[in-house]
């Protein structure tokens, strides 16, 4: 595939566009990563002119770019790329005008679709009817792509009616994060981890994505969605798949996604006593009092804002190794990390001299800091007359320090560039999404059948006590 000459942004005046997409596109422009003649055409319902959209974008950049990158000449040259066409995507009528605006599309179009779910189908139909879905057009789809297997199939079928699978780029912004890609480098560009990366060497794995934010104004969307579908179905399962997958033969879209989907299909359906639903109540975050979910929402609700799951990957490599997952809003800290807990050494030679061992642990911190930390045992300096003292010390790889000159990027910079260039490696294939939904739907069925209500937890905590018990009853504890 070759780079497209037009990027067409649906939902161009939305929140994602302001906060993430426009600043990301600016970064690609700033670093000359996109072709000089790339046109960026925004579309949404608002009646804006090209100039109006440029002003909208200029404001977004003023708000979201750090001060040291507010260079007026670079911003002005970026804004020149922008054009705008108002469009009511719910009917096919406006699409001919859009096609007219785009003019010559022989250089190919990359579409980024981030619109309300009910607009997906009409948008695809509109694009097809106006000749904007041909072989040189690819389409990036932002979530939510349905809210269960069935509805995601309806959307996927609608898209497939106009676009071949290799032209469909399903976005999971976690895959655009540098540290998430680094997980593959850590595993497959080093000799020392992989031989132990299985049930012989690993005792259990923990994946935590905790947030301190609450509803962030997304009341309707969030209350209909809940933490399981908002975070686990996509981001957490992608992290799990990258942690658990076999080595792909190549770092290409087919090989990587083939391996991920095998993991997703090996996930065992979760038993009722291996998961916890939670919902935040009032509490304090960073010393500031915050309200509970029902107050934030303005009504009582049974939607979960927290989930903890003990997951099992039923294959040879992972037999008997649980993957503990937890995610929630209004938790104590913002933190995304993968913790790989290795097994104990087979025999402690220091035992008779009082030396106590702690099993090795690998912590892969994705955010807010970015590091990989291997906890290893070392001898405390001394003459050891009273016995040997062993201590756990970190072998630290701070990515922020090791690559101090590299700017930390927004995940969307990478994803937009790959979409424009046509590289689908970091996008989610249909069979992956369906395997994810199948597992998530089964969890929701258990909740529905057993009428599982979310358990309350105080804002600023690590979730309901039942989530702590989920690990502790196995003699394990969450890494905090």
Nearest to ligand BG6 of 211, 418 (CB atom): 211
Q: Could you tell me how many residues of this chain bind ligand BG6 (CB under 6 A)?
A: 3
Task: Determine the Cα–Cα distance for residues 32 and 412; give it in Å rounded to an integer.
Answer: 16
- Is residue 387 within 8 Å of 355, Cβ to Cβ? yes
Q: Return the bridge partners of 209, or none.
A: 327, 336
**What is the nearest approach in angstroms of ligand BG6 to the Cβ of residue 410?**
9
- Is residue 248 within 8 Å of 263, Cβ to Cβ? no
Nearest to ligand BG6 of 238, 336 (CB atom): 336
Catalytic residue among 29, 173, 204, 235: 235
Please list every residue from 318 through 377 that binds ligand BG6, using CB under 6 A. 336
Nearest to ligand BG6 of 84, 457 (CB atom): 457
Nearest to ligand BG6 of 13, 233 (CB atom): 233
**What is the nearest approach in angstroms of ligand BG6 to the Cβ of residue 381?**
40
**What is the nearest approach in angstroms of ligand BG6 to the Cβ of residue 323?**
19
**What is the nearest approach in angstroms of ligand BG6 to the Cβ of residue 47?**
29
**What is the nearest approach in angstroms of ligand BG6 to the Cβ of residue 301?**
16
- Is residue 17 within 8 Å of 11, Cβ to Cβ? yes
Binding mask 59-78 for ligand BG6 (x = CB under 6 A): --------------------
Nearest to ligand BG6 of 83, 172 (CB atom): 172
Nearest to ligand BG6 of 204, 335 (CB atom): 335
**What is the nearest approach in angstroms of ligand BG6 to the Cβ of residue 230?**
5
**What is the nearest approach in angstroms of ligand BG6 to the Cβ of residue 125?**
27
Q: Which of 211, 227, 225, 90 is nearest to 144 (CA)?
A: 225
* Cis omega (within 30 of 0) for bond into 368: yes
Nearest to ligand BG6 of 83, 230 (CB atom): 230
Single out the residue of 142, 230, 274, 304 in contact with ligand BG6 (rule: CB under 6 A). 230
Active site residue 312: no
Nearest to ligand BG6 of 5, 336 (CB atom): 336
- Is residue 47 within 8 Å of 85, Cβ to Cβ? no
Please list every residue from 105 through 124 that binds ligand BG6, using CB under 6 A. none
**What is the nearest approach in angstroms of ligand BG6 to the Cβ of residue 473?**
29
Nearest to ligand BG6 of 211, 304 (CB atom): 211
Single out the residue of 211, 223, 370, 413 in contact with ligand BG6 (rule: CB under 6 A). 211
Residue appearing with tokens 């990563």: 33
Q: Return the bridge partners of 42, or none.
A: 9, 84
- The full length of the chain comes to 480
Interface with ligand BG6, residue 432, by CB under 6 A: no
**What is the nearest approach in angstroms of ligand BG6 to the Cβ of residue 147?**
13
Chain residues that interact with ligand BG6, rule: CB under 6 A = 211, 230, 336
Q: Active-site residues: which are they?
A: 235
């Amino acid at each position: 595939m070759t780079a497209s000459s037009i990027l067409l942004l649906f939902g161009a005046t939305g929140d994602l566009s302001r906060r993430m997409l426009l600043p990301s596109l600016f970064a690609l422009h700033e670093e000359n990563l996109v072709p000089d003649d790339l046109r960026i055409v925004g579309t949404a319902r608002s009646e804006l002119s090209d100039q109006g959209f440029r002003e909208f974008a200029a404001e977004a950049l003023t708000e979201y770019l750090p001060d040291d990158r507010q260079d007026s000449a670079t911003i002005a040259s970026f804004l020149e790329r922008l054009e705008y066409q108002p469009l009511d995507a719910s009917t096919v009528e406006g699409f001919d005008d859009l096609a007219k605006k785009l003019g010559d599309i022989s250089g190919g179009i990359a579409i980024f679709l981030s619109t309300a779910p009910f607009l997906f189908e009409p948008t695809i139909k509109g694009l097809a009817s106006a000749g904007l879905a041909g072989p040189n057009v690819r389409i990036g789809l932002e979530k939510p792509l349905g809210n269960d297997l069935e509805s995601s199939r309806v959307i996927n079928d609608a898209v497939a009616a106009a676009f071949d699978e290799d032209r469909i780029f399903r976005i999971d912004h976690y895959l655009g994060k540098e540290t998430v890609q680094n997980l593959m480098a850590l595993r497959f560009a080093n000799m020392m981890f992989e031989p132990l990366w299985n049930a012989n060497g690993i005792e259990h794995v923990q994946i935590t994505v905790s947030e301190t934010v609450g509803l962030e104004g997304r009341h309707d969307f969030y209350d209909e969605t809940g933490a399981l579908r908002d975070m686990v179905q996509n981001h957490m399962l992608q992290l799990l798949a990258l942690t658990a997958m076999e080595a792909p033969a190549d770092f290409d879209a087919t090989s990587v996604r083939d391996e991920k989907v095998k993991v997703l299909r090996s996930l065992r359906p979760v038993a009722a006593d291996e998961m916890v639903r939670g919902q935040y109540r009032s509490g304090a975050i960073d010393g500031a009092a915050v309200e509970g979910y029902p107050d934030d929402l303005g009504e009582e609700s049974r939607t979960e804002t927290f989930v903890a799951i003990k997951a099992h990957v039923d294959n040879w490599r992972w037999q008997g190794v649980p993957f503990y997952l937890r995610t929630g809003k209004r938790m104590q800290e913002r933190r995304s990390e993968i913790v790989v807990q290795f097994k104990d050494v087979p025999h402690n030679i220091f035992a008779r001299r009082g030396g106590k061992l702690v099993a090795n642990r690998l912590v892969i911190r994705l955010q807010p800091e970015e590091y990989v930390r291997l906890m290893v045992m070392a001898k405390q300096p001394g003459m050891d007359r009273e016995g040997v003292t062993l201590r756990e010390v970190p072998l630290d790889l701070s990515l922020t320090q090791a690559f101090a000159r590299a700017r930390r990027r927004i995940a969307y910079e990478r994803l937009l560039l790959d979409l424009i260039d046509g590289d689908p490696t970091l996008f989610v294939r249909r069979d992956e999404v369906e395997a994810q939904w199948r597992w998530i739907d089964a969890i929701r069925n258990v909740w529905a059948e057993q009428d599982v209500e979310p358990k309350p937890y105080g804002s600023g905590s690590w979730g309901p006590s039942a989530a702590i018990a989920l690990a502790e009853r196995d003699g394990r504890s969450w890494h905090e």
